[in-house]
Structure formats: C-alpha cells, structure tokens
C-alpha cells in the first residue's frame, strides 16, 4: 500500500473520508427518518400527510434542541473581553 499511496496524500484522504461519511449519514437520515420521504406503497398513495408531530420531531432533533438553549457565540470569553467598555 505504501508504494501506491504517498504520505502527502493522507490528509486529503482523511478529509475526503470525513466528507463522504457526512454525506452518507445525511442521505441515510433523510431516507429513513424524513417524514416527506415515502418508501412503501401504502404511504405513497396518500397525497397529503397529516404528520405535523413527526415533522417537528424530525426538525427539532436532539442536537438542535441542545444548541437552542446555548448562546450563539463560539468563544464567549474572548467576546466578553473585547466587547466590554474600558473605563479610564
């Protein structure tokens, strides 16, 4: 394998593996959990689905609920340091 893949390519392979796995995760999540995707024939015959609760459960998943309670700052301590007014 070392003859075919040079060490300089490892970071690129790692990045591409990460991106590919994220794409596969999102596609799998959409196919199996999205309330708008209908795989079996019984659900496909329904023109309008009345599934508001299922849609809200899909949209407001655990990570989004956790982040909704957090302040929208990446580095709060640095933001506080630079945003405070210094009194002379």
Contacts of 85 (CB under 8 A, 6+ apart): none
Tell me what pLDDT residue 73 has. 82
Segments making up each domain of the chain, as ranges: 7-83
Tens digit of pLDDT for each residue in 22-65?
A: 999 999 988 888 877 777 777 677 766 677 787 788 888 888 88
Long-range contact pairs involving 45-48 (C-beta distance under 8 Å, separation at least 24) = none
pTM of the model: 0.54
- pLDDT bracket for residue 1 (50, 70, 90): low
CA distance 75 to 83: 12
């Amino acid at each position: 394998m070392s003859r075919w893949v040079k060490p300089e390519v490892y970071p690129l392979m790692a990045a591409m593996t990460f991106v590919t796995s994220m794409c596969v995760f999102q596609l799998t999540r959409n196919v199996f959990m999205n309330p708008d995707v209908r795989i079996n024939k019984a659900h496909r015959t329904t023109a309008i689905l009345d599934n508001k609760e299922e849609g809200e459960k899909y949209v407001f998943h655990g990570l989004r609920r956790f982040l909704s309670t957090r302040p929208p700052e990446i580095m709060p301590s640095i933001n506080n340091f630079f945003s405070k007014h210094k009194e002379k």
